[in-house]
Amino acid sequence: MAKKIVLTGGAGYIGSHIFISLVENGYEPIIIDNFSNSNEAVIQKIELITNKKIKFYKSDVTNNMDELFKNESVYGVIHLAAYKSIPSSLSNPLEYFYNNVSGLISILQAMNNNQCDKIIFSSSCSIYSNNSNVPVTEECQIKGNNPYSLSKIMCEEILNQTAFADPNFRYMSLRYFNPVGAHKSGLIGEMVDSEESNLMNEICKVAIRKKKKLSIFGNDYNTHDGTCVRDFIHIDDLVSGHIAALESLPHLGKNMCVNLGTGNGYSILDLVKTFEKVNNIAIPFEFCNRRKGDIEQIYADTSLAEKLLKWKSKKSLEDMCLSSWHRVKKTNS
């Protein structure tokens, strides 16, 4: 019988891709999502890709989850559901702390009450200090520079204390860098119309002429072209990291935090120019003042993931740009 995996936020950008991979790897994923940052239409698209009827619960993870876990005999959890915008968190700190921290506690309580002891947690590279040397290892200083990153730090400590109290409890906190790209079908990907979209979506908005110009915040950083440097990772590689974590967790004998990135730093202009080159489309842009809270450069040291999970990213910046544009063209055709 297939192992049941509760996938919170499973209708979102990352969650929908993970769902497909879980099915392909023989698991039975169950989605919990309130669709606050996703669309119910994604469910039908995932069903079309997997040729499988999806079991999902339209619910907020801050609700009591006991009944769901009791009815489903859950093997493990991949917990993605969270508010995720740094600018929004600065304006709405209480909402972010309540949703992100209480959501995890609710899931952990349901797990504890129903003999489920394995969880993969979605963390973020934003928890690393602005002063961290690059590439950043998991041992680098962590520092909450905003309510979003602080909520992730708090969640990691809650997981740590839960594991201290229960020797059978196993968790892995995956510290994401900057996921971009889309599924090869072009049917799912990040919502281009989202107000909290990432850089790639902003580029795509310009490409389809929903925006006149791309705003690039700062061109006076101490980087090779003056713009911020990030570790962009293809969504497919991020997903394969989750499968590797899920399958490794029972055998590692310890709990840990692991970076998921490529280990390569690319600037904002690198991404724009690569998108233009591989898709043969111009992206007008303008430089603006630096944005509060932006880190000059950050990219991952991925040696721990390579050693313990036997995982390494495979796809290039060109692959990310091609798949993103394929998704947008298909959506807008």
> Would you say residue 116 has pLDDT above 80?
yes
Query: Which of the four pLDDT bands, split at 50, 70 and 90, describes residue 197?
Result: low
Q: Give the integer Cα–Cα distance in Å for 245 and 265.
A: 23
Q: Give the integer Cα–Cα distance in Å for 146 and 302.
A: 25
- What percent of the chain has pLDDT above 70? 98
At the fourth CATH level, the homologous superfamily of domain 199-229+264-298+323-332 is UDP-galactose 4-epimerase, domain 1 (3.90.25.10)
Specify whether the CB–CB gap between 82 and 124 falls below 8 A.
no
φ and ψ at residue 32, rounded to 5 degrees: -120, 120
Domains 4-181+231-263+299-314 and 199-229+264-298+323-332 share a fold: no
Q: How many CA atoms lie within 13 A of 100 on its CB side?
A: 26
φ and ψ at residue 14, rounded to 5 degrees: -75, -45
Q: What is the pLDDT of residue 192?
A: 67
Q: What are the extents of the domains in the chain?
A: 4-181+231-263+299-314, 199-229+264-298+323-332
CB contact burial 251-276 (16+ within 10 A = b; e otherwise): eeeebbbbbbbbbbbbbbbbbbbbbe
Least confident of 69-78, 122-131, 143-152, 186-195: 186-195
Q: Give the chain's end-to-end CA distance (angstroms, integer).
A: 41
The whole-number average pLDDT for the span 44-48 is 96
Q: Selecting from 3.40.50.720, 3.90.25.10, 3.20.20.70, 1.10.760.10, what CATH number does the domain 4-181+231-263+299-314 have?
A: 3.40.50.720
Q: How many CA atoms lie within 13 A of 293 on its CB side?
A: 15
> Would you say residue 262 has pLDDT above 90?
yes
* Distance set, CA 201 to CA 10, 190, 293, 323 (Å): 20, 7, 20, 12
List beta partners, residue 4. 28
Q: What is the pLDDT of residue 293?
A: 74
pLDDT 10s digits, 161-183:
999 999 999 999 999 999 999 99
Read off the pTM. Answer: 0.96
Identify the CA nearest to 270 among candidates 324, 323, 207, 216.
216
Helix (H), strand (E), coil (C) string for 236-285: HHHHHHHHHHHHHHHHHCCCEEEEECCCCCEEHHHHHHHHHHHHCCCCCE
- Residue 174, classed as helix, strand or coil, is strand
Mean pLDDT of the chain: 94
* Distance set, CA 205 to CA 68, 98, 191, 308 (Å): 39, 32, 11, 39
Q: What is the pLDDT of residue 253?
A: 86
Q: Give the integer Cα–Cα distance in Å for 151 and 84.
A: 10
Least confident of 171-175, 191-195, 313-317: 191-195
What tokens were used for 105?
Answer: 């506690």
Burial bucket for residue 290 (CB in 10 Å: 0-12, 13-18, 19+): middle
The residue length of the chain stands at 333
Q: What is the pLDDT of residue 330?
A: 84
What tokens were used for 238?
Answer: 């991020």
Residues tagged active-site: 148
Identify the CA nearest to 102 among candidates 126, 72, 79, 127.
79
Of residues 313 and 190, which shows the higher confidence score? 313
Q: Give the integer Cα–Cα distance in Å for 246 and 255.
A: 12
pLDDT 10s digits, 230-254:
999 999 999 999 999 999 999 998 9
The whole-number average pLDDT for the span 33-52 is 93
State which H helix or E strand residue 321 sits in: helix 317-332
> Would you say residue 141 has pLDDT above 80?
yes
Q: What is the pLDDT of residue 155?
A: 98
Q: What is the pLDDT of residue 61?
A: 95
Q: What is the pLDDT of residue 195?
A: 59
Secondary-structure breakdown of the chain: helix, strand, coil percentages, each rounded to the nearest 5: 40, 20, 40
What tokens were used for 303?
Answer: 């040696």
